[in-house]
Amino acid sequence: MTEPTPGKMIEEAGLDADMAAGVMPGLSAALEALGQEHGLTRTGHERALAQFRDNLSRLSAIAADRKAHPEIADVEITRPVFILGLPRCGTSILHALIGADPQIRTPLQWEVAAPSPPPETATFEADPRADGFDAYVRENFTGAWADVLKAHPVGARIPQECGMMLETAFQSINPTMLFRLPSYYDWHRKADTRFGYQVHKMWLQQLSWKNPRKRWVLKVQEHAHHLPELFDTYPDAVLVQPHRDPVTVMASISRLIEVIRCVAFEKIDREDLGQELLHLWHDGQAAALRWREANPQVKVLDLAFRELIADPVGSVRQVYDHADIEFSSASQEAVSRWWREHPADKHGQHRYELADYGLTRQQVEEVYADYIGAYEDYL
């Protein structure tokens, strides 16, 4: 199958020279990896190309709005809070709990899917793009893919991960999660992703311009891979890191990625998947550990998953204290209400076993010995 060239895709998206130069390395690496990926079905291959084009289209829309309204570039992003850590350790729950507070801004899934024109405060709650996103979810998250909803929240008014924004710069590991693409992951792990974080800031300015809040709270696990670049763009960033036993994490994330990939692959080798994810997520934690050791002046709030589940309001209060955000009575009521209204098994139970992916507790603990040693008090 002949792949489109990165130059042609960039031209079709209408990106200017600066944006094209920033996107080109990652797009080239992604297309090369896609050409090498023989496990994808024809539908899976088409899904990947469609996602790449959508990424370029969303970036182009933001760049066009910024050109038409230069004042967007003047929007200040002050002390953004980044939640990072291993997957399946409560980052999405914590993000949603904090996002329930009306003084906090989190990127919602509908506005990251359709960011142009910039959302406005007056129409934010009734914006038809939100209903359009929910209609897409109802239509597409069915059959085998419905199991995604058991493990990961999807919906218009649910906070979105930063990966969907970094992906528009082709400096995110999201394509690796959906389509495997090992050579792209290798490129991304070693890449200088400052352009990705510059685009990330463009996104926050776009979404803040006509719908601001006091503070941004953001999350995605892959920030751990590139903390130097994150702080290059956000030198006043605040970090929060929940923790969980990596044995449980590996079983859960392996099942989730298997379900996510099932619509793009004829067959998924579970043992290969287990080994892939075992090392991929450890790469990020090893990088974050090195960065934290080299930057002790940056205080990171570490949280235990078990404590987050046992006392969600208290955990959010810890984040607010750490980030110097007022935890008002309205904040407490909003956070408590969200917890009551969103039981963990709302869409059914997410079931998984470590052995299903050819992994043993001993294997995981050997690979994650550095992580376990550093954070054993939180596991």
Task: Give me the tens of pLDDT residue by residue for the chain, a chain 379 residues long.
Answer: 577 999 999 999 999 999 999 999 999 999 999 999 989 999 999 999 999 999 999 999 999 999 999 999 999 999 999 999 999 899 999 999 999 999 999 999 999 999 999 999 999 999 999 999 999 999 987 776 777 777 667 899 999 999 999 999 999 999 999 999 999 999 999 999 999 999 999 999 999 999 999 999 999 999 999 999 999 999 999 999 999 999 999 999 999 999 999 989 999 999 999 999 999 999 999 999 999 999 999 999 999 999 999 999 999 999 999 999 999 999 999 999 999 998 764 544 456 789 999 999 999 999 999 999 999 999 9
Give the burial string for 62-71 (b: 16+ CB within 10 Å, else e).
Answer: bbebbeeeee
How far apart CA 178 and CA 161 sit, in angstroms, is 15
How far apart CA 242 and CA 141 sit, in angstroms, is 28
Helix (DSSP H) and strand (DSSP E) numbers for the chain: 19, 5
Whether the CB-CB separation of 222 and 173 falls below 8 Å is answered with: yes
Q: Tell me which architecture the domain covering 78-173+191-378 has in CATH.
A: 3-Layer(aba) Sandwich (3.40)
SS3 369: helix
Our CA dihedral for 86, 218, 19, 168, rounded to 10 degrees, sits at 60
Report DSSP state, residue 196: H
- Whether the pTM exceeds 0.75: the reply is yes
The length of the chain, given as a count of residues: 379
Residues facing residue 215 across a β-bridge: 104
